[in-house]
């Protein structure tokens, strides 16, 4: 019978000590305070174009709804990426080597990382970074139970902010980032550059980044993916208002807003909004926010790239394309980026 490896991270990493959790997972909690959430919401809704960051979609209910979206017929992204991982995982991990540290940014339910872990041999460390505490602990505990020779660390944090990763006791031969799901498309071009440059520094010399990118395609396929017939994406979008009500003391009337998503061809992105159906005033912990009829809260962008466009973006952040895999329809791409010397 295989024995679980000793924990590889001391409690000196970051500002908070590690907490041992179920199945030996080490947990670091950098979770943003409720006051930060409230401040961001009020600031965003005070702009001429009202907006709330999509990172706040992912409370427990939001994460559940997103997992349902990934199973929808219209949502091609997950099927395309899963087919790439299933067909090419063995090739993807050939350069990892024993003793690598795999860092997943926005780990969610940690399902996709299993394709890579199943293809790996030897001992490795997996660091899951996600903003949803409950989902993170549940998924990493399940992962640790499934892979007894894997050292698992859960970090509850916003990976776009300055983050000190746990420091291993033993030598890590290589750091490999994993950023699936085309989340890079949710970032503005400036944020995408910020993320890629931060990842380049964190992964260090000899590091690599496996990253999913949604490719440009027929606008009808894009429209259907964000306006599904069952209304799951609409519920996901509206759940943001439920969370603001619960955690920020707001009084949004959900019947007063509707999901609205469309492809902005000029900007090369799908936009998601919540449209006000009438003139109304919403209060957030005593702050009054007025809405005109038809006014929207911009909740998400999802940028689409051509292969050449994304390679130019990666290059300006210190990466080059080591390898590229696409699905059979060329709807989605997984890049293996390598740090430039």
pLDDT per position as a tens digit, 77-131: 999 999 999 999 999 998 776 778 999 998 877 889 999 999 988 778 899 998 7
- Residue 7 corresponds to which tokens in the numbers above? 């924990």
In this model, does residue 260 exceed pLDDT 70?
A: yes
- CA dihedral angle for residue 17, residue 23, residue 24, residue 27, rounded to 10 degrees: -20
What confidence category does residue 35 fall into, taking pLDDT thresholds of 50, 70 and 90? low
Domain 19-33+71-217+304-339: give its CATH architecture.
3-Layer(aba) Sandwich (3.40)
Of the two residues 62 and 8, the one the predictor is more confident about is: 62
CA-only gyration radius of the chain, Å: 20
Stretch 66-72: mean pLDDT: 93
Q: How many other CB atoms sit within 10 Å of the CB of residue 188?
A: 11
Domains of the chain: which residue ranges? Answer: 19-33+71-217+304-339
**Whole-number pLDDT of residue 4:** 36
User: Is-contact 321 303, C-beta < 8 A?
Assistant: no
Cα(264)–Cα(285) distance, rounded to whole angstroms? 34
In this model, does residue 203 exceed pLDDT 60?
A: yes
**Whole-number pLDDT of residue 55:** 84
Determine the 3-state secondary structure of 176 from DSSP.
Answer: strand
Between the alpha carbon of residue 147 and those of residues 23, 84, 263, 321, 332, the distances in Å are 10, 22, 41, 30, 29
**Whole-number pLDDT of residue 3:** 35
Determine the 3-state secondary structure of 193 from DSSP.
Answer: helix
Cα(199)–Cα(212) distance, rounded to whole angstroms? 14
**Whole-number pLDDT of residue 15:** 52
Cα(172)–Cα(119) distance, rounded to whole angstroms? 19
Cα(186)–Cα(260) distance, rounded to whole angstroms? 16
What confidence category does residue 8 fall into, taking pLDDT thresholds of 50, 70 and 90? very low
Stretch 144-150: mean pLDDT: 90
User: Is-contact 113 141, C-beta < 8 A?
Assistant: no
What confidence category does residue 6 fall into, taking pLDDT thresholds of 50, 70 and 90? very low
Task: Tokens 């999901």: give the residue.
Answer: 259
The 10s digit of each residue's pLDDT in 269-310 is: 999 999 999 999 999 989 999 999 999 999 999 999 999 999
Cα(5)–Cα(152) distance, rounded to whole angstroms? 10
In this model, does residue 261 exceed pLDDT 90?
A: yes
| Interior angle at CA 297, CA 292 and CA 298, nearest 5 | 140
In this model, does residue 57 exceed pLDDT 50?
A: yes
The 10s digit of each residue's pLDDT in 232-250 is: 999 999 999 999 999 999 9
Report the mean per-residue pLDDT for the chain: 89
Stretch 200-213: mean pLDDT: 92
Cα(240)–Cα(300) distance, rounded to whole angstroms? 11
Residues in the chain: 341
Cα(11)–Cα(19) distance, rounded to whole angstroms? 8
**Whole-number pLDDT of residue 17:** 65
Q: What is the pTM of this model?
A: 0.85
**Whole-number pLDDT of residue 14:** 47
**Whole-number pLDDT of residue 266:** 95
What confidence category does residue 173 fall into, taking pLDDT thresholds of 50, 70 and 90? confident
Cα(244)–Cα(246) distance, rounded to whole angstroms? 5
Residues of the chain with pLDDT > 90, as a percent, come to 69
Query: Based on the number of CB atoms within 10 Å of its own CB, is 121 exposed (0-12), middle (13-18) or buried (19 or more)?
Result: exposed
| Number of alpha helices (DSSP H) and beta strands (DSSP E) in the chain | 9, 14
Which stretch of 11-15, 62-66, 184-188, 261-265 has the lowest confidence by average pLDDT? 11-15
**Whole-number pLDDT of residue 334:** 97
Bridge partners, 52 (sequence order): none
Which stretch of 6-10, 11-15, 79-83, 88-92 has the lowest confidence by average pLDDT? 6-10
- Residue 311 corresponds to which tokens in the numbers above? 């390679």
User: Looking at 56-123, which runs of residues are DSSP E strands?
Assistant: 100-105
Cα(170)–Cα(328) distance, rounded to whole angstroms? 41
Question: Quick one: the chain helix, strand, coil %, rounded to 5?
Answer: 35, 25, 35
**Whole-number pLDDT of residue 205:** 84
Residues of the chain with pLDDT > 70, as a percent, come to 91
């Amino acid at each position: 019978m295989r024995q679980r490896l000793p924990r590889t991270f001391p409690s000196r990493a970051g500002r908070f000590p590690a907490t041992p959790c179920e199945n030996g997972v080490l947990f670091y909690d950098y979770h943003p305070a409720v006051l930060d959430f409230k401040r961001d919401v009020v600031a965003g809704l005070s702009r001429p174009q009202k907006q709330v960051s999509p990172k706040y979609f992912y409370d427990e209910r939001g994460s559940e709804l997103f997992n349902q979206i990934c199973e929808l017929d219209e949502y091609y992204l997950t099927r395309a990426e899963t087919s790439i991982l299933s067909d090419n995982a063995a090739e993807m991990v050939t350069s990892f080597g024993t003793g690598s540290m795999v860092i997943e940014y926005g780990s969610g339910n940690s399902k996709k990382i299993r394709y890579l872990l199943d293809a790996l041999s030897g001992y490795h460390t997996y660091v899951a970074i996600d903003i949803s505490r409950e989902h993170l602990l549940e998924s990493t505990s399940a992962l640790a139970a499934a892979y007894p020779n894997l050292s698992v660390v859960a970090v509850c944090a916003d990976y776009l902010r300055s983050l000190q990763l746990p420091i291993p006791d033993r030598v890590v031969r290589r750091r490999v980032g994993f950023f699936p799901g085309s989340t890079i498309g949710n970032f503005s071009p400036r944020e995408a550059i910020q993320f890629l440059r931060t990842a380049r520094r964190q992964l260090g010399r000899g590091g690599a980044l496996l990253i999913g990118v949604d490719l440009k395609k027929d606008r009808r396929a894009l429209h259907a993916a964000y306006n599904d017939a069952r209304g799951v994406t609409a519920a996901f979008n509206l759940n943001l208002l439920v969370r603001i009500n619960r955690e920020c003391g707001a009084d949004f009337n959900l019947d007063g807003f509707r999901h609205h998503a469309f492809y902005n061809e000029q900007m090369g992105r799908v936009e998601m909004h919540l449209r006000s159906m009438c003139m109304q005033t919403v209060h957030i912990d005593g702050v009054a926010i007025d809405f005109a009829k038809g006014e929207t809260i911009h909740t998400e962008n999802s940028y689409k790239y051509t292969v050449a466009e994304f390679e130019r973006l990666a290059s300006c952040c210190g990466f080059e394309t080591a390898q590229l895999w696409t699905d059979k329809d060329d709807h989605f791409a997984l890049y293996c980026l390598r740090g430039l010397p």
